[in-house]
């Protein structure tokens, strides 16, 4: 195997791209800006998908599927929505060899087509709430792309719910944000800050956008999920009204929320090291790899027999791979599984067997440890659990160490030029103009107005005007 990824400290961006390619998570597609998700990358996405799908169903949602094509006239019904999305859209003008009467947009998100259908399905308060999720691909034409983080086509889920009251819709928006936080922290082992986007960063067509923001190892922020309160904007655009218990007609309240294959990129960037991927056990496609070591037929039969018995001793929850290939060396296998981030590696050879033990290596620690065969399974299961928690703690410690509370603009500008700029907790006056200037001058953006804690009056870090609260600023993906 070709050795040596670029080091994170030398070129984080190249390290990431090389890692994604070499670990066979994804590859570049013939069409610029698109990517092929390879089986190992897709296996991670499948684990993300199945976990979230279960969480959505536990909170009362059902899945459906809406078409890829959206008539142009639908897109233009919500003014802010079309203004925000039209420049990024792919539009189909011909079909079946003829020019279409009405151009069709390839969905950049599905609010419009879904709300056109909700207009047919919602008549009475009895039809509410309507809690639908869709797993789909979407297209947003991107000029500058990066595997998983920003691609022209990507996979995602989009929840679209309809409610009788504003209170209920707001509760749903916040509830799904909490589902995303739980998933990010308990499964991805990535700590996140829950917050609200500024007006200029909110979703086109939303009243308010909530988000979770994560910190990557280069001190940049990554928006890992969003949940939008859409008010009655789409109900009005598509004339979706329902009859209340009292017989009055009212517009329906809406939410939408989504996460995408970008999470795979976040997972890679949050935990991996200079030797390859480090995957949290709860999302790793393979939990344990067993590498048998032998010379000659006699040893081979002995070692492989024991290794197979060991692999079979785990229950279906633990995915164990016995690497019995004999066309590559043990050392080659070690490197490959390290690159692929398998949480636990077990090495087993004749000398170990004679001592009644095997050697275990946890991917995040890298130290070899001899473990008696009779307790190996228990030890491995415990290590998998410990590793899940250790990754979250490590990421949390890093975020804390890389978050600064600053009050003067010069220090802020200097901080944004550091190799690891991190998060800055600072005051902001609330003006869009100041926000735009701040971005122009420092490349940082206001990531969110955090939900936790009490708003604290201070001064805007850029203009010095009074600020009602502190916000999180950072460079971002
Ligand atoms: Zn200001």
Q: Examine residue 97 and state whether it is found in any structural domain, yes or no.
A: yes
What is the model's pLDDT at position 1?
A: 47
The residue behind tokens 């928690």 is 389
Same domain, 71 and 116: yes
453-465 residues labelled b (16+ CB within 10 A) or e (exposed): eeeeebbbbbbee
pLDDT in tens, the chain (477 residues): 456 899 999 999 999 999 999 999 999 999 999 999 999 999 999 999 999 999 999 999 999 999 999 999 999 988 888 888 888 999 999 999 999 999 999 999 999 999 999 999 999 999 999 999 999 999 999 888 899 999 999 999 999 999 999 999 999 999 999 999 999 999 999 999 999 999 999 999 999 999 999 999 999 999 999 999 999 999 999 999 999 999 999 999 999 999 999 999 999 999 999 999 999 999 999 999 999 999 989 999 999 999 999 999 999 999 999 999 989 999 999 999 999 999 999 999 999 999 999 999 999 999 999 999 999 999 999 999 999 999 999 999 999 999 999 999 999 999 999 999 999 999 999 999 999 999 999 999 999 999 998 889 999 999 999 999 999 999 999
Residue 281 lies in a domain: no
What's the confidence (pLDDT) of residue 78?
85
E strand segments, 261-326: 288-292, 320-322
CA of 448 to the centre of ligand 1 (A): 15
Distance CA 9, CA 13 (A): 10
Distance 427 CA to ligand 1 centre (A): 8
Last residue of a domain, one of 271, 297, 316: 271
Asked whether residue 190 falls in the same domain as residue 227, the answer is: yes
Q: Within this chain, do residues 249 and 294 fall inside the same structural domain, yes or no?
A: no
- Which single residue is written with the structure tokens 């979770």? 212
CA distance 173 to 295: 60
Residue 104 within any structural domain of the chain: yes
Q: What is the DSSP letter of 136?
A: E
Q: Tell me the CA–centroid distance for residue 457 and ligand 1, in Å.
A: 13
Distance of CA 226 from the midpoint of ligand 1 (Å): 25
Distance 195 CA to ligand 1 centre (A): 19
167 and 24 inside one domain: yes
CATH number at residue 32: 3.30.930.10
Report yes or no on 394 lying in a domain.
no
Cα–Cα distance for residue pair 22/16, rounded to 1 Å: 10
Which single residue is written with the structure tokens 């203009």?
463
d(CA 149, CA 35): 11
User: What is the residue whose two structure tokens read 């909700």?
Assistant: 118
393 located within any domain: no
Do residues 49 and 183 both lie within one domain? Answer: yes
DSSP, collapsed to helix, strand or coil, labels residue 102 as: strand
Is the whole model's pTM more than 0.85, yes or no? yes
The predicted structure's pLDDT at residue 122: 98
Q: How far is the CA of 177 from the centre of ligand 1 (A)?
A: 28
Number of domains composing the chain: 3
The 3-state secondary structure of 364-398 reads: CCCCEEEEEHHHHHHHHHHHHHHHHHHHHHHHHHH
Instruction: Say how far apart CA 202 and CA 204 lie, in whole Å.
Output: 6
Q: Using alpha carbons, select from 277, 275, 289, 266 the residue that is nearest to residue 187.
A: 266
Same domain? 58 vs 176: yes
Which residue among 271, 298, 319 closes a domain?
A: 271
User: Residues 82, 226: one domain?
Assistant: yes
β-pairing, 130-139 vs 153-163, is antiparallel
Q: Which residues contact 405 (CB under 8 A, 6 or more apart)?
A: 424, 425, 426, 470
> Is residue 392 a part of any domain in this protein?
no
476 CA to middle of ligand 1, Å?
20
The domain that holds 446 is classified in CATH as: 3.30.110.30
State in Å: Cα 366 to ligand 1 middle.
Answer: 47
Distance (angstroms) between ligand 1 centre and the Cα of 467 equals: 8
Q: How far apart are CA 302 and CA 423, in angstroms?
A: 55
Q: Domain containing 334 — which CATH number?
A: 3.40.50.800
* Ligand 1 center from residue 404 Cα (angstroms): 19
Here the tokens at position 148 are 């998983």
Please give the residue range of the domain that contains residue 141.
Answer: 12-271
Among all chains, which residue has been given the structure tokens 């250790």?
390
Same domain, 121 and 20: yes
DSSP state of 273: B
Say how many Å lie between the CA of residue 411 and the centre of ligand 1. 16
Residues 166 and 310 in one domain: no
Looking at residue 7, the DSSP 8-state letter turns out to be P
DSSP 8-state code for residue 183: H
Asked if residue 249 and residue 171 are part of one domain, the reply reads: yes
Residue that terminates a domain, selected from 238, 271, 304: 271
Residue from 195, 191, 170, 202 nearest 470 by CA? 195
- How far is ligand 1, taken at its centre, from the CA of residue 430, in Å? 7
Q: Shortest CA distance to 383 belongs to which of 397, 369, 394?
A: 369
Check: CB of residue 110 under 8 Å from CB of residue 143. Answer: no
Residues 293 and 256 in one domain: no
Spacing, Cα 423 to ligand 1 middle (Å)? 18
Residue 3: the pLDDT is: 63
Same domain, 266 and 136: yes
Ligand 1 centroid to 385 CA: how many Å?
Answer: 46
The answer to whether residue 389 is domain-embedded is no
Residue with tokens 């899945």: 63
Q: In angstroms, rounded to a whole number, what is the distance separating the alpha carbons of residues 384 and 344?
A: 7
**pLDDT at position 453:** 86
Q: Is residue 353 part of a domain?
A: yes
């Amino acid at each position: 195997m070709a050795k040596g990824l670029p080091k994170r400290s030398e070129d984080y961006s190249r390290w990431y791209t090389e890692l994604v390619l070499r670990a066979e998570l994804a590859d570049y597609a013939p069409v610029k800006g698109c990517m092929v998700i390879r089986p190992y990358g897709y296996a991670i996405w499948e684990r993300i998908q199945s976990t979230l799908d279960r969480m959505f169903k536990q909170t009362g949602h059902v899945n459906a599927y809406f078409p890829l094509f959206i008539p142009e006239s639908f897109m233009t019904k919500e003014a802010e929505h079309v203004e925000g999305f039209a420049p990024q859209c792919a539009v189909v003008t011909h079909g079946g060899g003829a020019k279409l009467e009405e151009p069709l947009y390839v969905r950049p998100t599905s609010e419009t087509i879904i709300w056109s259908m909700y207009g047919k399905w919602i008549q009475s308060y009895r039809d509410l709430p309507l809690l639908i999720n869709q797993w789909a691909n979407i297209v947003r034409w991107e000029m500058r792309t990066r595997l998983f983080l920003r691609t022209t086509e990507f996979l995602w889920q989009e929840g679209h719910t309809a409610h009788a009251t504003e209170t209920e819709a707001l509760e749903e928006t916040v509830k799904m944000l909490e589902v995303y936080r739980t998933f990010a922290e308990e499964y991805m082992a990535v700590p996140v800050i829950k917050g609200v986007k500024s007006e200029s960063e909110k979703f086109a067509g939303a009243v308010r956008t909530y988000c979770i923001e994560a910190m990557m190892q280069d001190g940049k922020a990554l928006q890992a999920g969003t949940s939008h309160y859409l008010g009655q904007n789409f109900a009005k655009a598509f004339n979706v009204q329902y009859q209340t218990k009292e017989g009055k007609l009212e517009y329906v309240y809406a939410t939408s929320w989504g996460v995408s294959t970008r999470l795979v990129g976040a997972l890679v960037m949050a935990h991996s090291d200079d030797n390859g991927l480090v995957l949290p056990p709860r999302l790793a496609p393979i939990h344990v790899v067993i590498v048998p070591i032998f010379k000659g037929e006699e040893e081979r039969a002995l070692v492989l027999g024991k290794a197979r018995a060991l692999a079979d001793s785990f229950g279906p929850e633990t995915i164990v791979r016995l690497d019995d290939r004999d066309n590559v060396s043990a050392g080659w296998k070690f490197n490959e599984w390290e690159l692929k981030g398998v949480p636990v590696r077990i090495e087993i050879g004749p000398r170990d067997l004679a001592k009644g033990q095997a050697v275990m290596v946890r991917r995040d620690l890298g130290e070899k440890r001899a473990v008696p065969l009779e307790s190996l399974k228990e030890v491995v299961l415990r290590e998998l659990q410990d590793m899940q928690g250790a990754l979250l703690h490590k990421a949390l410690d890093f975020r804390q160490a890389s978050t600064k509370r600053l009050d003067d603009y010069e220090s802020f500008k200097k901080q944004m030029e550091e190799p690891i700029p991190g998060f800055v907790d600072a005051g902001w006056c609330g003006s869009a103009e100041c926000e735009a200037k701040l971005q122009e001058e420092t490349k940082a953006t206001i990531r969110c107005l955090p939900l936790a804690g009490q708003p604290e009056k201070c001064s805007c870090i850029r203009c010095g005007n009074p600020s009602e609260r502190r916000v999180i600023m950072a460079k971002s993906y």
